[in-house]
Amino acid sequence: MTRALPSRRTVTGPPAGVGAPDFLDVALRVARALERIGVDYALGGSLAAGIVGEPRATNDIAFAVRLDEGKVAALAAELGDDFAVDVEALRDAVRRGRSYNVYFLPTVIEVDLFVRGGAPFDESELSRSAPIELRPGERPIRVATAEDSLLRKLVWFRQGGEQSETQWRDVLGIARVSGPDLDLDYLRAWAGRLGVGGLLERALAA
């Protein structure tokens, strides 16, 4: 099965080495729980960057979610006993529009839920996410596009004082692998609004 990304690149599956099996299993379980309770989401972070860029080892799984307080308890119930979820702490994170860490207990995998609000880029990131099959035979889950993954990584790189070699390596990997198919107009427009225009041009020229 092939999936067409909004960046217009067609892929046939995650590149070899994208995520250990346990990580893919956990990502799929979280995505299915979000789908069952009707929460918009996009897989992001290093797993998404590895699909649209160059894969690397990762210590966590990241999801952008449009989650409201009324669905927090339902999410905890859908995830089940294999996941450690502090319902009140997650509700507080939702109110504040912050991230929250869920843990998959059997293998102590961290799942970062980045609560997205009404910010324009948040809305664009979620609306442009595309269904991608992480494993043959599995129903696709939604993954952030190459453009939005690159922009989010640039923002995180800037917020970290431009010191993270890992974030910058992900940025360059996306630019190299997805470069010919990237929507440069979209990238440059959002990079300017997000204050990372100079970093984007540096990455594209590398």
Give the position of tokens 């590149």.
15
Q: Are 64 and 125 in contact (CB under 8 A)?
A: yes
What's the pLDDT at 24? 87
Distance CA 82, CA 151 (A): 33
Q: What is the pLDDT of residue 3?
A: 34
- Taken in order of first residue, the domains within the chain and their CATH numbers are 3-205 (3.30.460.40)
- pLDDT in the model for residue 57: 78
pLDDT at 11: 35
- pTM for the whole thing? 0.84
Contact 144, 44 (CB under 8 A): yes
Other C-beta atoms closer than 10 Å to the C-beta of 170 total 28
Q: In what order do the strands lie in the sheet with 141-143?
A: 83-84, 99-104, 109-115, 60-66, 40-44, 141-143, 130-132
pLDDT of amino acid 21: 56
Beta strands in the chain (DSSP E): 3-4, 10-11, 40-44, 60-66, 83-84, 99-104, 109-115, 130-132, 141-143
Please give the pLDDT value at position 74: 97
Amino acid at 142: R
C-alpha gyration radius of the chain:
16
Q: Mean pLDDT in each 10-residue stretch from start to end of the chain (206 residues)?
A: 35 45 87 96 91 84 94 96 95 91 92 87 92 87 95 94 93 92 96 97 94
Q: What is the pLDDT of residue 72?
A: 96
Torsions phi, psi for 104 (to 5 deg): -85, 105
Distance CA 18, CA 50 (A): 6
pLDDT of amino acid 6: 38
The DSSP annotation for 160-198 comes to TTT--HHHHHHHHHHHHHHGGG--HHHHHHHHHHHT-HH
* 3-class SS string, 95-114: HHCCEEEEEECCCCEEEEEE
